[in-house]
Amino acid sequence: MSKVLQIGDPILRTVARPLSRDEILSAEIQSLIEEMKLTMQEYHGVGLAAPQIGHSLQIVVIEDINHSHLTKEELIERERFPVSFHVIINPKLYMVEGDATFYEGCLSIPHILGKVTRAKQVRVECVNELGETQLIEASGWYARILQHEIDHLQGVLMCDLAPPQSLTTTKNYQKWWRQANSKPEDDAEKMQAHTEL
Ligand code: ZN
């Protein structure tokens, strides 16, 4: 497992480079992908981009399967459904339609959430870890994860998109901004986990 780099590290502001097919299939990149998967799981994130562990390469891993910290209402409102582990390399992102505004977090900006407006539906053209071309049509929270992670490859962080006035600690989000019908304050730690990307 690697350490996730924190905001202020210049690599998080660097545009990551695409990989050739030969590079993708190399032992070095295959083990980097494995490392990214382990790190994302260890930090309880739902996505991780290679620059977050110090590699300025266009690789993203995503897995969003643990939703026990959210109420049924929150899951419905966010259009959040389970997304199994997969790898996205050299992505091209196209906004399809709609927009939605929700608080989101980032493993590279610990304990802070901000309100970010993102497209509700996106299309992503990319290759997977085998170098095969993929076309992903995504909506709801999965579309949000894709936009957040692909932003990381461009050196863009969620705090660039959130109005500064919306920034809140995770604890104050629980205390002040989470819906009244949601779970009590004491699961702030759990909320922090499984929310960040
Ligand atoms: Zn992030």
pLDDT tens across 135-186, in order? Answer: 999 999 999 999 999 999 999 999 999 999 999 999 999 999 987 545 444 4
29-68 per-position pLDDT tens digit: 999 999 999 999 999 999 999 999 999 999 999 999 999 8
pLDDT band for position 69 (cuts 50, 70, 90): confident
Q: Which residues are catalytic?
A: 149
Q: For residue 156, how far is its CA from the centre of ligand 1 (angstroms)?
A: 9
107-144 per-position pLDDT tens digit: 999 999 999 999 999 999 999 999 999 999 999 999 99
pTM of the model: 0.91
Angle at 87 between CA 5 and CA 50, to 5 degrees: 20
- Which pLDDT does position 118 carry in this prediction? 97
Q: For residue 109, how far is its CA from the centre of ligand 1 (angstroms)?
A: 7
The maximal CA–CA distance of the chain, rounded, in angstroms, is 52
* Span 12-38, average pLDDT: 98
Q: For residue 150, how far is its CA from the centre of ligand 1 (angstroms)?
A: 9
Q: For residue 110, how far is its CA from the centre of ligand 1 (angstroms)?
A: 10
* Span 24-28, average pLDDT: 98
Q: For residue 114, how far is its CA from the centre of ligand 1 (angstroms)?
A: 12
Say if residue 16 is exposed, middle or buried (CB neighbours under 10 Å; 0-12, 13-18, 19+). buried
Token digits for 18?
Answer: 């695409």
- Which pLDDT does position 194 carry in this prediction? 52
Which residues make up the environment of ion ligand 1, defined by Cβ < 5 Å? 106, 197
- Which pLDDT does position 1 carry in this prediction? 84
Indicate the pairing of strand 83-106 with strand 133-139: unpaired
Q: For residue 133, how far is its CA from the centre of ligand 1 (angstroms)?
A: 24
